[in-house]
Structure 1
Amino acid sequence: MPMLAPPFLVLPFPSIDPVLIELGPFAIRWYALAYVAGLLLGWWMAKRLCERPALWGGRSPIPPEAFDDAVVWIAFGVILGGRIGYVLFYNLAYYIENPLQALTVWHGGMAFHGGFLGSILAMYLFCRKRGLAFVSMLDIAAAVVPIGLFFGRLANFINGELWGRPTDVAWAMVFPHGGPEPRHPSQLYEAGLEGLLIFIMLQLAIRAGALTRPGTVAGLFVFLYGCARIFVEFFREPDPQLGYLAGGWLTMGMLLSLPMLAVGLALVARARRRPALSADAPV
């Protein structure tokens, strides 16, 4: 257990109201705006990627206008999958006793791994319905997902939730609902790693021709996210209803992220064995 920093060395937590605007019974929360911003910016950027033939070695397998409808499917997949994942993986006993609370998404409680699986299922169904290349759709989605992760983690920070473990680092903060101990602002670590860093790395890979080998960008995202999440879990406080799962160090976030390492590497390896897209390849 680290020695905690004296109170005068702790950074003050910026008290930002989680509710941006409140009109009677209706409230617009930063948490909801983060999802909206992530989806809209992701939709815009996905279309831009599809409009650049040079990134694909020819015409994109996914027409840009397909994302006008796909974004709705993906939004439902993220929200439903994220909520179901949180209920199943993180607090099942509570929701068995209080089933109606599972519907209160506006109170928070979303699991990335559930939203990840839900969005994949939504994209698969959408591509099957439209006759589109599913793996290339995954690549485009993977390229823009870090945008949503960045905004989502910032919203977690504003809400003062998902804080880190007690620490004595110079940038420690005392969170409003996290007790008197100064803690790691782990939400900002995740925003920087899962959001900003992975976004930059994927954009560099795309500029190097990753989209010409379908599955490469998706595999890189899955692997890099798994690495980033496992790393941050060493600084993030485990959910109180779960705690540590084994040996005093393993968390649910780590457990759910470990398979992502193998899946990501397998996707990249498979993509490297397949022929690259070209201007005269069928789409």
Structure 2
Amino acid sequence: MQVFIESDFIEKINDDFQKMTGVRTPALEVVVSVLTEYGNLKMYIDCSLQKLKTLEDTNEIVARRISQFSGLVSLNKPLKELYEDISNFEQVIVFTLDNEPWHSEAQKKGVLCFTYSNYNQKISDIINVCNSIKIDLSKRFQGWNIFGKLKDIPKNYLLLNDNYILKKNAINRNYVPLVKSILAKNIEAEVEVCTDFLNDRTLASSINTIFDKFCSQFDDDYKLNARLVHLYQYRDLNFHDRIVYSNFFMIECPVGFNFDTRKTSNSKITVDSIFDKFSYNRMNNHLRHLNNAKKSARIID
């Protein structure tokens, strides 16, 4: 994760954290946890090195970050310039004191932008939306429209990890409506389908046809760059569970997303956001292994 934060924002958050002992909002607790406890995170702040040293002495959040991790990168330039120069647009969060004109464009690129006045509501909304999607597959399946709740969470990629995604035409029967529910139109997004599709050798001759059909079901309003990734010869992690990953959440269905929607099972579908530390660590550990596996993978664009 990359976090770009204004020094004015972190000073206000620290003041609130100190004053609101016992009555801190859940979103404030989340922000402080992200800034002080989350690993695999690079944080950039818009102040001079001298001011950062002062903050380390006076600001508990800054002091905790520096004491536990590699600290903050201090670059004495406006946050917009920092973000534009350094951002990798993979998992990026911006914290500013006030709303900035460039926030809307950043969010179209998959960046989460928060201000001091809206972070409480926006983080609570993301957590509540993700927690509200719990589907008991022992009951009649009601369709994929419920995942439309995730459409407003900024994103620029989806990674579908399922070793059986190409069996029984599942990618076209279930994944197409799922992806359409999640992705907004006219927003550029990468869609990666990661699978060991040769676990069923009868599919080997038809994989291109199946994948082409999947791509053809999204009209020009969907700005997708889709590719199929054949994972093989990777032994450090068993990619067993069927999971859809995005920048800030993941969707799990243990039985697999290729289930027959007319039948019931003892499985479920759940959504977890990065604002739960366990889910953040788990998701990023999965993605680290997937990125390593892709280095030796076969890619079909």
**TM-score scaled by length of structure 1:** 0.23
Higher strand share: 2
Instruction: Pick the structure with more helix per residue.
Output: 1
Q: Which protein has greater RCO, CA pairs closer than 8 Å, 6+ apart?
A: 1
